[in-house]
Amino acid sequence: MSNTIDKLIQGASPTMINVMNIVRKIAATDANVLITGENGTGKELIAREIHNLSSRSGELMVSVDMGSITETLFESELFGHVKGAFTDARDDRKGKFELAAGGTLFMDEISNLSLQSQSKLLNVLQNRQVVRVGSNKQIPVDIRLICATNCDLMKMVGEGRFREDLLYRINTIMIEVPSLRDRVDDIPVLANFFLRKYCEKYDREPMRINTHALEKLSNYDWPGNVRELQHSIEKAVIMSDSPVLIPSDFEFKSQAKNVHYHELTLAEMEKKMIYDCLKRNGNNISIAAAKLGITRQTLYNKLKKLDSGNS
């Protein structure tokens, strides 16, 4: 496992452990992969780890943000062009498919493609050949395709905004990267990793985050996920005059988790604690029971009682 990925998931929650298990299983294959998840969860890092663990690791991984490519430049950017194909085409130019030959092509935010561009992409994936703009010559391409999106592509298919045949073509294996709020146990690990990183970057003496500040970080929803946590730690390192970061060093624009335990009954509080713990630990009863400090059988009995109460 590469150093960056290792640091970002060390002590990982069950959901991230499952993600990395899938990564290791599929890396050696050439199966197309679709990575889903919210913005800032690290989808490109996962894609890069698949590439690094694959037999193609000695070749390039070429990344392209599909949201930044206009409709008119789609073919030129992806498939290349020949000199004179259009006004500014002064030289022959390889597209992303050719640049990634022998390696991996990572297409981020693939949901941004128009139906017309989707059709052109599907044709290339089916034939494994590209034709540069302004040419008739077919050029074979050998790439491993990894796509990513923060959208529900199946829903888009139902709405007629994404081709079903293209979805099946890019979706041999799907990996869903969990949001940071679904891997709360990882927040202290990630926070301290970024703290060391930015202390070194900005030539600061070693710093630490006190217990109350860590609690504040753990109780925040992190709509921007790992990326937002990273930026928050960087800002705190730059702005703080103390070697110890405290809660006031972290100010968030959006609201923290709206959990008012004092407004809950004892039974409601227990129920919330149980379900929250199960969610954080991938619904693994054994792990959740250990975290709650009770036996597996006790947790099983409580869940059975809660389920019967909801029926």
The 10s digit of each residue's pLDDT in 114-154 is 999 999 999 999 999 999 988 889 999 999 999 999 999 99
Mean pLDDT of 168-194: 92
- Between residues 93 and 111, the one the model is more confident about: 111
| Cα(26)–Cα(6) distance, integer angstroms | 18
pLDDT at 161 over 90: yes
Identify the band that residue 5 occupies on the pLDDT scale cut at 50, 70 and 90: low
pLDDT at 1 over 90: no
CATH 1.10.8.50 fits domain 181-249: no
Amino acid at 192: N
99-103, 252-256, 269-273: range with lowest mean pLDDT: 252-256
7-16, 72-81, 95-104: range with lowest mean pLDDT: 7-16
- pLDDT of the residue at 118: 95
Hey, where are the domains in the chain? 3-178, 181-249, 261-310
Mean pLDDT of 252-268: 57
- Between residues 214 and 306, the one the model is more confident about: 214
How high is the mean pLDDT of the chain?
A: 87
pLDDT at 269 over 50: yes
- Write the class of the CATH domain 261-310: mainly alpha
Torsion of CA 239, 243, 247, 252, to 10 degrees: 30
Q: Dump the DSSP string for 137-185.
A: -EEE---EEEEEESS-HHHHHHTTSS-HHHHHHH-SEEEEPPPGGG-GG
**Superfamily (CATH H level) for 3-178:** P-loop containing nucleotide triphosphate hydrolases (3.40.50.300)
Q: Dump the DSSP string for 184-251.
A: GGGHHHHHHHHHHHHHHHTTPPP-EE-HHHHHHHHTS--TTHHHHHHHHHHHHHHH-SSSEE-GGG--
